[in-house]
Amino acid sequence: MTTTEADTSPLVQRPKRADARRNYDKLVAAAREAFAEHGTSASLEEVARRAGVGIGTLYRRFPSRQDLLEAVYVEELAEVCQSADELTDLPPWEALSEWLHRLVEYVGRKHALAEELWNYIDRDAEFFRGCRTTLYAAGQPLLERAQEAEAVRADVSFDDVLQMVGGIGKNPATPPDQVARILDIALDGLRYRPA
């Protein structure tokens, strides 16, 4: 991702001062835990308590529930996107496959957050467009690298891959080990096979 893309990305919302950054990180981590345990309706007081800060600190950093939901969504997106950089030393197929496994886990976690955010903002809002741009910037190079190495079919687009992974990851009734197995089966369909 270029500096210009990074500057306009929704991922650049973190405070600069060290003390503000620490509180931000504690609040986002606490929100992730609370939302995982109690759903996105977990109380903000519970989030502040878990973070070890007062409710006033939470509201100074996140004036509304939407602001906190967006921050959690973006932090999780940042983690999965940054993990693409960790995989560049792997062979192209392994890098893509590993990243897609991380992505499908993220899709499962973020689906409830996205559903809640849609109560506040439109699916095509600038926030979601920025998140999609960031996701494409991380994943599309992995796909292209695998295609160039003839490890993945040339007729597959990153949109195709996202549709596949999204469909697999959004099913809340499927246990995590089953999700990984289903993804492996689907990934086998991406493999390049000479005619």
CATH number for the domain that contains residue 188: 1.10.357.10
The pLDDT, as a whole number, for residue 12 is 42
Q: Convert the pLDDT of each residue in 39-97 to its tens digit.
A: 888 999 999 999 999 999 999 999 999 999 999 999 999 999 999 999 999 999 999 99
- Is the domain of 85 the same as that of 154? yes
- The answer to whether residue 16 scores a pLDDT higher than 60 is yes
- Is the domain of 104 the same as that of 169? yes
Count CB-CB contacts under 10 A for residue 101. 16
Residue 180 in domain: yes
Give yes or no for a contact between 23 and 71, defined as CB atoms under 8 angstroms apart.
Answer: no
Q: What's the domain range around 18? A: 14-63
End residue of a domain, out of 31, 46, 63: 63
- The answer to whether residue 7 scores a pLDDT higher than 60 is no
Please state the domain count of the chain.
Answer: 2
Q: Convert the pLDDT of each residue in 145-167 to its tens digit.
A: 999 999 999 999 999 999 999 99
Distance, CA of 22 to CA of 26 (rounded, Å):
6
Query: What's the whole-model pTM score?
Result: 0.82
The pLDDT, as a whole number, for residue 119 is 85
- Is the domain of 53 the same as that of 99? no
Residue 35 in domain: yes
